[in-house]
Amino acid sequence: MRKLRVVQIGSLDVSIFLVTRKELEALVPTKKDECLYGYSDPLNGKIYLVDEGHITSLEDTYLHEIIHVLMEVSGLRGVFRALAKSESDAETLEESVVRGLAPVLLRTLKNAGFKTPSLRGRK
Ligand SMILES: [Zn+2]
């Protein structure tokens, strides 16, 4: 596990860690057949990213997990909970929104000239 940086997301200081798949599976209880590429833990100020050597998928996962934290700090997670019938439905709803938004947002930000963050110390 390697600490990449600390990012301020809203009022939270969030530490970003690069981890192996084994390290992530030890940290996060996964469901059978679930394949996680990252995990965000806003309450403890942590984001874990599985580094499997693909910089583009690492960027996607990085933004994906940042958006999950944004859902928490912006109060949108509470909106999903209010709209959903259960905690599980709220998580599914949030996951659908984040999965739809993250890749489009990443391409749009790049096209608009936003700088891509350095991950693993290179671009
Ligand atoms: Zn997600």
Spans of all domains in the chain: 2-111
- Residue 113 β-bridge partners: none
pLDDT of residue 92 exceeding 60: yes
User: Is the per-residue pLDDT at 122 higher than 50?
Assistant: no
What sign for the dihedral angle of Cα 33, 106, 68, 71?
negative
Average pLDDT over every residue of 50-64: 88
pLDDT at site 123: 42
30 CA to middle of ligand 1, Å?
Answer: 13
Q: What is the H or E stretch that residue 14 is in?
A: strand 12-19
99 alpha carbon – ligand 1 mean position (Å): 7
Class of domain 2-111: mainly alpha
How many A from CA of 114 to the centre of ligand 1? Answer: 23
- The residues, any chain, with a CB within 8 Å of residue 121's CB and separated by 6 or more, are none
Average per-residue pLDDT for the chain: 91
CA–CA gap between residue 12 and residue 10 (Å, rounded): 6
pLDDT band of 121, cuts 50, 70, 90: low
Q: What is the SS3 assignment for 88? A: helix
pLDDT value of residue 84: 96
Q: What is the percentage of the chain residues whose pLDDT exceeds 90?
A: 79
